[in-house]
Amino acid sequence: MQMTPPAAARRTSFNPHTPSRGFVSLVGAGPGDPDLLTVKGFRVIQQADVVVYDRLVSADILALASDKAEMIYVGKKLDYHCVPQAQINQILVDKALEGKRVVRLKGGDSFIFGRGGEELETLVEQNIRFEVVPGITAAAGATAYAGIPLTHRDHAQAVQFITGHVQKDGQEIDWSSVAQSNSTLVFYMGLKQSGYIADKLITHGLDEQMPCAIIENGTRREQRVFRCPLNQLAQIAQQAQSPALIVVGSVTSLHEKLNWFE
């Protein structure tokens, strides 16, 4: 694919003639289907000297990098970071200070449960320039491919993206405001916590028959969508594998009518 970016897009990207203390592009790779990468992401990956990437980035996207690019894997498996965050930050700093064009490549969007903000704070401290190239976050991509509109005038006027690591991070969310918000709820990293999530929502007033969907491997060829009422979520979640999103809300019932991908 050969694409010439519009001038406005070019202006904000790396300019090799500008003296600086390195440059990092923080790029969201999208949820799985490599065609969901943005044109800007496509271009900066092709130009990168170093690509520092996570587990959920597809092989087709990594293959866009030049043969000469240094590829550094810093991904994590489930709950286990194979490279500690401080070390990832240091790699970005070191490579940028060597004058390399660094692409920090993450699944989905870097600012949605992606620690993108933390990494950029380190770059700011070190006076390293950067840009942020947004990606399609899993909630947008997976629901689009599952035929589940996140909002719909007859169903939901708002949507919330919520971490499923509710207990682990020790930051309990305000369950009564979530359960009574009348919005579509999308839980990231929630598969293992699905029983806890369903219990909390029901205890705080959400109808136990509220339709739910679990979208596994959203936007990938192997995508699967499971549907069930809220009170069966934990049971159905046992059949699903990571990466998966839990979507709670009556919009999920539209999957039957609007499913186009599977």
Catalytic residue ranges? 54, 76
Q: Which is nearer to ligand SAH, 102 or 245 (CB)?
A: 245
Our finding on whether 233 is near ligand SAH (CB under 6 A) is: no
Q: Which of 34, 41, 108, 149 binds ligand SAH (CB under 6 A)?
A: 108
Min dist. Cβ of residue 203 to ligand SAH (A) = 23
d(CA 18, CA 33): 34
Q: Which of 27, 112, 133, 185 binds ligand SAH (CB under 6 A)?
A: 112
Min dist. Cβ of residue 164 to ligand SAH (A) = 7
Alpha carbon distances (Å) from 88 to 52, 114, 116, 235: 8, 13, 11, 37
d(CA 157, CA 147): 17
Q: Give the range of 11-19, 106-114, 176-184, 228-236 binding ligand SAH by CB under 6 A.
A: 106-114
234-247 exposure pattern, b = at least 16 Cβ within 10 A, e = fewer:
bebbeebeebbbbb
Q: Which is nearer to ligand SAH, 49 or 237 (CB)?
A: 237
Contact pattern for ligand SAH over residues 132 through 171, marking x by CB under 6 A: -----xx---x-----------------------------
Q: How many residues are present in the chain?
A: 262
Counting Cβ atoms within 10 Å, is residue 232 exposed (0-12), middle (13-18) or buried (19+)? middle
Min dist. Cβ of residue 145 to ligand SAH (A) = 9
Residue 26 contacts by C-beta under 8 Å, 6 or more apart in sequence?
104, 106, 110, 116, 119, 120, 130, 131, 132, 133
**What's at 107, amino acid-wise?**
G
Q: Which of 14, 23, 31, 88 binds ligand SAH (CB under 6 A)?
A: 31
Our finding on whether 183 is near ligand SAH (CB under 6 A) is: no
DSSP 96: H
Chain residues in the site for ligand SAH (CB under 6 A):
31-32, 56, 106-109, 112-114, 137-138, 142, 188-189, 215, 217-220, 242-245
